């Protein structure tokens, strides 16, 4: 199997795929795209329901909307990049190349919907499965590009830094450089050394660390943990965004999202008394920024010991809902709810990691030759709370920009000599799979109960003590155990939880950092 690529991209969501397309087209560069998933489409992009912002030339309000949602903690320079470059990239990559299908108006123009905290409708969508349409169209486009290889069931374990391989401390350039990654091949139970001139992390967020979340199961902080172990910088890790409305159905591995576009198109939030409670929390009611709505729902639930609140879209006809929100309509019908007649029980769930691997506005991390794009990265765009439907746009824009930057510098790089890098030593001790699952559940409950929407210093300190002890145990166990994707994920999860807790305890300091970046 080929393990030497000009560029290694870890992760196959919108950011990784966009970067790969830009790097591969009209060049002879060899691009290796790896994913731990069984299928390339297994990514958070695939699950995104709502849509992707299109920043029109007339749109004078987008900066204010992003800043309002984030309480003025978004980084202005990152917003400027969206204003300047995102529509060009969206047109080029999604509309012209991948031919992603978006809903259209009767006159053939692109239809735009609205979500919470947006002052105008500016969101392109494909019914209620926009991410799926984008992901599949990008993958179909990539299938025709010969110099991109996609390898599935490959779990990145650690970034390779020459510093870890006996390079003299005086060779600073070499020492801080990332030259590829150790990758666990799930089929062959082997670890490969993937070497690359440049490495791009596009591994997504860390929201699956919570008991209730909307993400794919791979959102376990793999990229964050790898960067931290390699000595790179993370920032704003406490800024976990909770989505206000997920279906309060039977407990599943992930909670089913009920897109904010429902509220954008008139759905109301009611408490079990039938009261439209958002009027007590914000002038914009259900269309207040996400953090405010999530917090209001939790307050209602905690103060009244309610299991959930309700989303009401019964003013719309069944015919309309079946066409506009087909995924949601059918999901609820499978749970014996007809959303044109019934109230939908909803609870908030962890949804997006606004902080992440610290990057500049070309995706460059603090480690040489390592880029990070999409949810794993923190460009500062989202501040403490992300405006709805900015995430796909950020992944697309900064994935493309990182590739543009790499193209200007790749010719200066050579491969690092692979022989200098030691082979991975496989441990032999068999482990009890149920222990891994139990540890995972302890982590998820701890994060949900003590590091969730309602945080306090006491809760965080309790979480810190629990996670710290678990971390010690897991690291001991990891060292000797036979490698497995779940075990790699468990180690990353516990490390990233610790980082989130420590950042939360530092609190407001990070907000300042994000503005001063």
**Minimal CA–CA distance to 72: which of 316, 333, 382?**
382
| Binding status of residue 391 toward ligand SIN by CB under 6 A | yes
Strands (E), 160-271: 180-185, 190-201, 234-235, 240-247, 268-270
What's the closest the beta carbon of residue 236 comes to ligand SIN, in angstroms? 17
For the beta carbon of residue 95, count every other beta carbon within 10 angstroms. Answer: 15
Task: Say how far apart CA 406 and CA 19 lie, in whole Å.
Answer: 10
Task: Say how far apart CA 229 and CA 495 lie, in whole Å.
Answer: 9
* First-last CA distance in the chain: 41
What's the closest the beta carbon of residue 134 comes to ligand SIN, in angstroms? 12
What's the closest the beta carbon of residue 261 comes to ligand SIN, in angstroms? 6
Reduced to 3 DSSP states, what percent helix, strand and coil does the chain have, rounded to the nearest 5? 45, 15, 40
**Per DSSP, what are the bridge partners of residue 180?**
195
What's the closest the beta carbon of residue 49 comes to ligand SIN, in angstroms? 4
Q: What is the largest CA-CA distance in the chain?
A: 70
Which residue lies nearer to ligand SIN by CB, 114 or 510? 114
| Binding status of residue 74 toward ligand SIN by CB under 6 A | no
| Binding status of residue 135 toward ligand SIN by CB under 6 A | no
| Binding status of residue 199 toward ligand SIN by CB under 6 A | no
For the beta carbon of residue 501, count every other beta carbon within 10 angstroms. Answer: 27
Which residue lies nearer to ligand SIN by CB, 366 or 389? 389
Give the CA-trace dihedral at 65, 68, 69, 70, to 10 degrees.
120
What's the closest the beta carbon of residue 385 comes to ligand SIN, in angstroms? 11
Which residue lies nearer to ligand SIN by CB, 186 or 259? 259
Which residue lies nearer to ligand SIN by CB, 310 or 498? 310
Which residue lies nearer to ligand SIN by CB, 261 or 443? 261
From the list 205-213, 254-262, 359-367, 449-457, the region that binds ligand SIN by CB under 6 A is 254-262
Residues in contact with ligand SIN, counted by CB under 6 A, come to a total of 9
From the list 24-32, 77-85, 323-331, 386-394, the region that binds ligand SIN by CB under 6 A is 386-394
| Binding status of residue 50 toward ligand SIN by CB under 6 A | yes
Residue nearest to ligand SIN (CB): 50
Task: Say how far apart CA 445 and CA 251 lie, in whole Å.
Answer: 13
Task: Say how far apart CA 421 and CA 3 lie, in whole Å.
Answer: 14
In this structure, what token pair is assigned to residue 294? 């999530």
What's the closest the beta carbon of residue 210 comes to ligand SIN, in angstroms? 15
Q: Which of 49, 199, 492, 503 binds ligand SIN (CB under 6 A)?
A: 49
Task: Say how far apart CA 464 and CA 470 lie, in whole Å.
Answer: 10
In this structure, what token pair is assigned to residue 493? 């999860």
Task: Say how far apart CA 399 and CA 372 lie, in whole Å.
Answer: 8
Q: Which of 6, 30, 260, 439 binds ligand SIN (CB under 6 A)?
A: 260
Task: Say how far apart CA 125 and CA 19 lie, in whole Å.
Answer: 22
From the list 47-55, 170-178, 426-434, 494-502, the region that binds ligand SIN by CB under 6 A is 47-55
**Minimal CA–CA distance to 324: which of 391, 244, 386, 267?**
267
> CA angle, 225 as apex, 347 and 3 as ends, to 5°?
120
If 0-12 CB within 10 Å is exposed, 13-18 middle and 19+ buried, where does residue 418 land? middle
From the list 166-174, 306-314, 333-341, 387-395, the region that binds ligand SIN by CB under 6 A is 387-395
Which residue lies nearer to ligand SIN by CB, 213 or 464? 213
What's the closest the beta carbon of residue 445 comes to ligand SIN, in angstroms? 24
Task: Say how far apart CA 402 and CA 371 lie, in whole Å.
Answer: 7
Q: Which of 74, 87, 259, 397 binds ligand SIN (CB under 6 A)?
A: 259
Which residue lies nearer to ligand SIN by CB, 49 or 235? 49
Out of 220, 290, 386, 491, which one is annotated catalytic?
Answer: 290
Task: Say how far apart CA 300 and CA 275 lie, in whole Å.
Answer: 11
| 255 classed as catalytic | no
Task: Say how far apart CA 149 and CA 161 lie, in whole Å.
Answer: 24
H/E run at residue 133: helix 130-143
What's the closest the beta carbon of residue 35 comes to ligand SIN, in angstroms? 21
| Binding status of residue 388 toward ligand SIN by CB under 6 A | yes
Q: Which of 12, 389, 492, 493 binds ligand SIN (CB under 6 A)?
A: 389
What's the closest the beta carbon of residue 48 comes to ligand SIN, in angstroms? 6
Which residue lies nearer to ligand SIN by CB, 89 or 481? 89
DSSP state of 482: P
From the list 203-211, 277-285, 384-392, 441-449, the region that binds ligand SIN by CB under 6 A is 384-392
Find where tokens 């709810």 sit: 337
For the beta carbon of residue 248, count every other beta carbon within 10 angstroms. Answer: 22
* Residue 439 · residue 471 · CB < 8 Å: no
What's the closest the beta carbon of residue 392 comes to ligand SIN, in angstroms? 7
| Binding status of residue 62 toward ligand SIN by CB under 6 A | no
Q: Kindly list the residues in this chain that would bind ligand SIN in the complex (CB under 6 A).
A: 48-50, 259-261, 388-389, 391
As annotated, the active-site residues are 290
């Amino acid at each position: 199997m080929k393990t030497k690529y000009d560029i290694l991209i870890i992760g196959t969501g919108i950011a990784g795929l966009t970067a790969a397309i830009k790097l591969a087209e009209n060049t002879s560069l060899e691009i290796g795209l790896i994913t731990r998933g069984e299928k390339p489409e297994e990514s958070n992009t695939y699950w995104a329901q709502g849509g992707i912002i299109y920043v029109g030339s007339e749109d004078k309000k987008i900066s204010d909307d992003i800043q309002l949602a984030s309480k003025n903690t978004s980084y202005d320079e990152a917003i400027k990049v969206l204003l300047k470059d995102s529509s060009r990239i969206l047109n080029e990559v999604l509309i012209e190349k991948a031919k992603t299908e978006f809903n259209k108006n009767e006159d053939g123009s692109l239809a735009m919907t609205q979500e919470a905290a947006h002052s105008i409708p500016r969101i392109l969508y494909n019914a209620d499965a926009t991410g799926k349409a984008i992901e599949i169209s990008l993958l179909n486009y990539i299938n025709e590009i010969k110099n991109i290889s996609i390898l599935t069931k490959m779990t990145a374990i650690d970034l390779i830094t020459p510093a870890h391989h006996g390079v003299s401390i005086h060779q600073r350039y070499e020492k801080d450089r990332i030259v590829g990654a150790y990758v666990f091949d799930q089929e062959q139970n082997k670890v490969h050394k993937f070497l690359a001139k440049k490495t791009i992390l596009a591994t997504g967020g860390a929201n699956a660390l919570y008991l209730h979340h909307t993400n794919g199961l791979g959102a376990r902080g793999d990229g964050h943990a790898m960067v931290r172990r390699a000595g790179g910088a993370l920032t704003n890790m406490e800024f976990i965004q909770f989505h206000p409305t997920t279906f309060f159905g039977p407990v599943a591995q992930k909670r089913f999202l009920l897109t904010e576009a429902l509220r954008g198109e008139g759905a109301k939030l009611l408490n079990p008394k039938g009261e439209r409670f958002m009027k007590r929390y914000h002038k914009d009611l259900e269309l207040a920024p996400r953090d405010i709505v999530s917090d209001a729902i939790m307050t209602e639930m905690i103060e009244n010991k309610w299991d959930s609140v309700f989303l009401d879209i019964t003013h719309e006809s069944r015919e309309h809902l079946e066409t506009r929100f087909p995924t949601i309509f059918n999901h609820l019908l499978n749970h014996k709810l007809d959303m044109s007649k019934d109230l939908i029980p909803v609870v908030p769930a962890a949804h997006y990691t606004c902080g992440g691997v610290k990057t500049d506005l070309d995706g460059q991390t603090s480690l040489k030759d390592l880029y990070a794009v999409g949810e794993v990265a923190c460009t500062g765009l989202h501040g403490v709370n992300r405006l709805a439907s900015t995430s796909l746009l950020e992944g697309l824009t900064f994935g493309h920009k990182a590739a543009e930057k790499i193209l200007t510098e790749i010719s200066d790089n050579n491969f690092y000599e692979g022989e200098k890098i030691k082979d991975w030593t496989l441990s032999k001790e068999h482990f009890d799979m149920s222990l891994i699952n139990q540890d995972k559940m302890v982590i998820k409950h701890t994060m949900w109960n003590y590091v969730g929407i309602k945080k306090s210093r006491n809760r965080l300190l309790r979480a810190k003590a629990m996670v710290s002890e678990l971390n010690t145990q897991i690291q001991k166990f990891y060292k000797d155990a036979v490698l497995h994707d779940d075990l790699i994920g468990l180690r990353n999860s516990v490390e990233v939880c610790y980082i989130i807790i420590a950042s939360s305890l530092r609190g407001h300091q990070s907000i300042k950092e994000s503005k001063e970046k």
